[in-house]
Amino acid sequence: MSKAAKPHPLENIERLRQDIVFRDELLGHPLTFHTTWGLFSPKGIDEGTRLLLDHLEVRPDDRAIDLGCGYGPLGLAIAKSALQGHCTLVDKDFVAVEYARRNAALNGIDNVDVLLSNGLAHVPERRFTLAVTNLPAKANKEHYYLFFHDIRERLEPGGRFYIVVITGLRQFVARAFNEVFGNHTKVKQGKTYTVACAERN
């Protein structure tokens, strides 16, 4: 008896072009996301982002920035929680920016703007009370120092910077935060990821 022929990969091309759509609850808000292949964690919220959201304090009037926003889960959840405030979502990938803008509109979130920028280089001069990022593990440490310094310069006094990193980087982050911000708090250490926070004095 012959085996059934497997479909040729090209037969799935049009299906692969379609948006991936999923729903989740973040910071207590039900949200719908459209994503696509090539973006980070396109089929659902990744473990690091979820850990950060589980240990993130958002105030109703926060002026926040989400750096490396991807299709928007962190920034859009923050915006829903800071209805008297605002969230700026930033990514250097134009596809991510396009999907983050679409997801903001899809979820009726209008206290946001989504910008294409390499770090903070193309973000208008404004101050923030909260900054968040899911820090990429593959960047070099010089890049991290520049990144941390630029964020510190944009935070208001008392502004908080939350990051989630792979746990193997936690000691570097503690040292860098103490050097750049003068303080460091390990918020939550998990097996794979660690959430840390620094505050601008």
| pLDDT value, residue 1 | 46
Owner of token pair 């040292």: 175
| pLDDT value, residue 136 | 82
Distances (CA, A) of 196 to 92, 149, 168: 23, 16, 13
| pLDDT value, residue 4 | 60
Residue ranges of the chain whose pLDDT lies below 50? 1
Q: Cα(70)–Cα(93) distance, rounded to whole angstroms?
A: 8
In a domain, 56, yes or no: yes
Strands (DSSP E) contained in 125-184 are: 128-134, 155-166
Specify the CATH number for the domain of residue 59. 3.40.50.150
In a domain, 2, yes or no: no
In a domain, 4, yes or no: no
In a domain, 138, yes or no: yes
| Enclosing domain of residue 69 | 9-199
In a domain, 3, yes or no: no
| pLDDT value, residue 3 | 58
Burial of 88 (0-12, 13-18, 19+ CB in 10 A): buried
Report the predicted TM-score, pTM, of the whole model to 2 decimal places: 0.92
- Looking at residue 8, the DSSP 8-state letter turns out to be P
Strands (DSSP E) contained in the chain are: 20-26, 29-35, 63-67, 86-91, 112-116, 128-134, 155-166, 185-189, 193-199
Number of independent structural domains in the chain: 1
Strands (DSSP E) contained in 76-135 are: 86-91, 112-116, 128-134
| pLDDT value, residue 137 | 78
| pLDDT value, residue 50 | 97
Q: Please list, in sequence order, all residues whose beta carbon lies within 8 angstroms of the beta carbon of residue 109, skipping any fewer than 6 positions away.
A: 76, 79, 80
- Cα angle at 187 between 182 and 81, to 5 degrees? 105
